Chain A
Amino acid sequence: MNTDLAPEAVEYGLTARRAIEAAGGDELAQAAERESDRRVGDKVLDDLGAWDLDPRGSADELEAAAALCRAAGWWALPHPVAERLARPRDLDADALVVVAAPGPAGAVDGVDLRWVAVDLDGRRSRATPRPADDPVRTSGFVAALDIAPVDDAGAGDLALGLVLPCWTLLGMLDRAMGLTSAYVQQRHQFGQPLSSFQGVQFQLTDAEVERVGLEELARYALWSLEAGRPDAIEDALALRLAAIEAADVVFRITHQLHGAIGFCDETTLSWLSRASQPLRRLPLGLSATRAALTARLGRQGLAGLFGP
């Protein structure tokens, strides 16, 4: 078993990150909020050949898709990259969103796509966003969905639909750590950089441990999906649980270490942390994800890295 991404996928991710930066970088999220339009940055995704990737087609393409999601997360790119990459191939659709009853909802607003929803039991539906009343500032492009059932054949969609957005969230945590690490080294108080205080160092290391742990699990869940393992859905749910927990810790600490400026529009961290909210809350938050995973596992547990 090798959970490392292929070098080509890693390189593709870095290329994507640079390309998004050249296309506007952080400004893209701000423009999307200003204009209530998530299509900003569309062209760079076309140029990267994002929609030619078939993550279901081969391991290489799946890994490239994950790396692209991570790059999109780094910039809090407003476009629903993970959802479009996960689109079902056997239905005429542009994007896939995982939903949970009651009140299916997702970050589906601000872009005109044909959505398919899949729930945790693998039921697929055509999903139509209801018009959202709230401004993007508070809605985060989240809208309720009207659901028209299609079939029960979505088990294969579910794992992919859960895993790819976790890679987006991982990219956000990468960035939050990078921003904060730079900030505490550059910001001086009491005649020395904040980073020279052990109390600050330890907080940042706690956050880094969470981020690294999430990265390991993200690669494992991707490998589980690639290998077509029977518990790929459980692995995906376990990844989601770890991602929410890691995001809580990382954003909590990176905000605290940024101080008050971290809550202001002037800082990238504030945009990043707001953009992370829908990913962390939908389709299920921390407790509900844990409950869903527990219900699926029963007494059997996960096979894990060293299982039979």
Chain B
Amino acid sequence: MSEPGDFRDQVRTWCREHVPAGWREAQTGVGEDGFVAFQQAWFRELRDAGWAVPHWPAEWGGGMPVAEQVVLYQELAAHDAPRLVLAFVSIHHAAATLLGAGTDEQRRRHLPAILDGEIWCQGFSEPEAGSDLASLRTTARREGDRYVVNGQKLWASGARHADRCLLLARTDPSAPKHKGISYFLLDMRSPGLDVRPIRNAIGDSHFCEVFLDDVEIPATDLIGPENDGWRIAQKTLSAERGLTMLELAERLAGGFRWLLDDCARPGAGGARPIDDPVVRDRLAAFETELTGVRALCRDLVERSEAGRAGPADASIVKLAYSELLQRLTGFAADVGGLDAHARAARPLSSGWESGAWVVDYVGSWEWTIPGGSSEIQRTIIGERGLGLPREPSVP
């Protein structure tokens, strides 16, 4: 891939002028309101520069060549810019759904709104439908020009701040489980919705439960044909890969540089971890592996762009990244010793490797679960990548 050198200089200059100084300190221990306001302000900065949605088609405000998108994400990571955490589902999953399956009217209604700050969350998983998403039980019953929805959604990250939700619900209970699901653009202000945060092991409450009690959705907010939701959801989920993984891998490379800095500072006993041969050995191994994951991501982006991505490529990238993230943050927590354990808060708006290594490590564990657990990824790699037979199911 050629290097758009001028563009890289342009991004570097912009980052030096626009990345807010001291944002990490300001976002450490900040409340929900402070987090949301900061995310919205940073989104506007990027949008005004034309860089909030570079992967969208030009007519909707994107149109950046892939080679430049790669540079953009590399430089944002290298300059330690805040991540677009709050808008993540909006600019990736919601946009991919609207662009892939929406009507012109739906695109016109929501894509500009997303650029104006409309926040989306995802209502896919349910208590009994995690890895086996297609067994979801939330129902949507057609009544005239609207659907009436009942059920419960789980792990809807950021649902408390969301204006809209990508909702999967069963519209034909008698059809085979993949065939009776429809996809809706749910207005989160609808009556009958109850959003409850769930506190996780690191004290965050970004996960939410969403209870839907006779919630009415206008038929105009059905996306794609009725009962075709599963196929559309596959498209939505695949938007999580490619460039989003490339961004995360570049962030991890940035985090690794902080780890090197940490290791070069004397620890509580006066010795520098980096002078320990075992530490050096591990760091060198991580550097090698990190280079591999970055290359995998870049390769996936290029092959996706060229329409040459294999059926298991995205699974390989997710598996490699998530397990590397866990091992790297775990090593950082170990090497940081008690000092690292005293840092119990990480800045919001940062990546998964904020430098508060113990919190990062605990947080990293969730990475092998959502968006297809490692077990699901391995199954995809085995069956679709290697062409192995399916595991026999229990009779």
Interface residues of A (CB under 8 A from B): 101-103, 105, 134, 137-139, 142, 188-193, 196-200, 252, 255-256, 259-260, 263-266, 270, 273-274, 281-282, 285-288
* Contact with B334, one of A189, A265, A285 (Cβ below 8 angstroms): A285
Sample 17 A-B pairs with CB under 8 A, ordered by A number: A102-B270, A189-B129, A189-B131, A190-B393, A191-B393, A197-B375, A199-B375, A255-B365, A259-B131, A260-B130, A260-B155, A260-B207, A263-B365, A263-B366, A270-B200, A273-B201, A287-B278
Beta-carbon contact of A263 and B334 below 8 Å = no
* Contact with B200, one of A139, A193, A197, A263 (Cβ below 8 angstroms): A263
How many angstroms between the C-alpha atoms of A264 and B198 in the bound complex?
7
Asked if B109 is at the interface (CB within 8 A of a chain A CB), the reply is: no
Residues of B within 8 A of A274 (CB): 201
Asked if B3 is at the interface (CB within 8 A of a chain A CB), the reply is: no
The chain A residue sitting closest to B339, CB to CB, is A103
Residues of B within 8 A of A259 (CB): 130-131, 369, 373
Residues of B within 8 A of A270 (CB): 200-201
How many angstroms between the C-alpha atoms of A299 and B182 in the bound complex?
68
Beta-carbon contact of B268 and A190 below 8 Å = no
Residues of A within 8 A of B369 (CB): 256, 259-260
The chain A residue sitting closest to B282, CB to CB, is A287
How many angstroms between the C-alpha atoms of A268 and B44 in the bound complex?
42
Residues of B within 8 A of A260 (CB): 130, 154-155, 207, 366, 369-370
Residues of A within 8 A of B349 (CB): none
Interface residues of B (CB under 8 A from A): 128-132, 135, 154-155, 198-201, 203, 207, 268-270, 278, 334, 337-338, 341-342, 344, 365-366, 368-370, 373-375, 378-379, 391, 393-394
Beta-carbon contact of B132 and A190 below 8 Å = yes
- Among B200, B341, B344, find the residue whose CB has the most chain A CB atoms closer than 10 A: B341
How many angstroms between the C-alpha atoms of A264 and B154 in the bound complex?
12
Beta-carbon contact of B368 and A256 below 8 Å = yes
The chain A residue sitting closest to B373, CB to CB, is A259
The chain A residue sitting closest to B132, CB to CB, is A189
Q: Contacts A264-B199, A273-B201, A285-B337 given; indicate if A256 touches B394 (C-beta within 8 A).
A: no
How many angstroms between the C-alpha atoms of A273 and B368 in the bound complex?
17
Beta-carbon contact of B344 and A134 below 8 Å = yes
- Nearest first, the 6 A-B pairs at minimum CB distance are A138-B344, A189-B132, A192-B394, A263-B201, A196-B394, A190-B132
How many angstroms between the C-alpha atoms of A192 and B337 in the bound complex?
43
Beta-carbon contact of A102 and B268 below 8 Å = yes
The chain A residue sitting closest to B131, CB to CB, is A189
- Among A188, A193, A197, find the residue whose CB has the most chain B CB atoms closer than 10 A: A197
Beta-carbon contact of A189 and B130 below 8 Å = yes
Beta-carbon contact of B135 and A189 below 8 Å = yes
How many angstroms between the C-alpha atoms of A237 and B370 in the bound complex?
38
How many angstroms between the C-alpha atoms of A41 and B91 in the bound complex?
51
How many angstroms between the C-alpha atoms of A198 and B369 in the bound complex?
18
B18 to chain A, nearest CB (A): 33
- Excluding A189-B132, A190-B135, A287-B334, 15 further A-B contacts by CB distance (< 8 Å) are A101-B269, A102-B270, A134-B342, A134-B344, A189-B130, A190-B132, A192-B393, A196-B393, A200-B375, A252-B365, A260-B130, A260-B369, A260-B370, A264-B199, A282-B338
- Among A103, A134, A142, A274, find the residue whose CB has the most chain B CB atoms closer than 10 A: A103
Residues of A within 8 A of B338 (CB): 103, 105, 281-282
Residues of A within 8 A of B131 (CB): 189-190, 259
B194 to chain A, nearest CB (A): 17
Residues of A within 8 A of B203 (CB): 137-138
Q: Contacts A102-B268, A134-B344 given; indicate if A198 touches B391 (C-beta within 8 A).
A: yes
A179 to chain B, nearest CB (A): 15
Q: Contacts A255-B365, A270-B201 given; indicate if A264 touches B207 (C-beta within 8 A).
A: yes
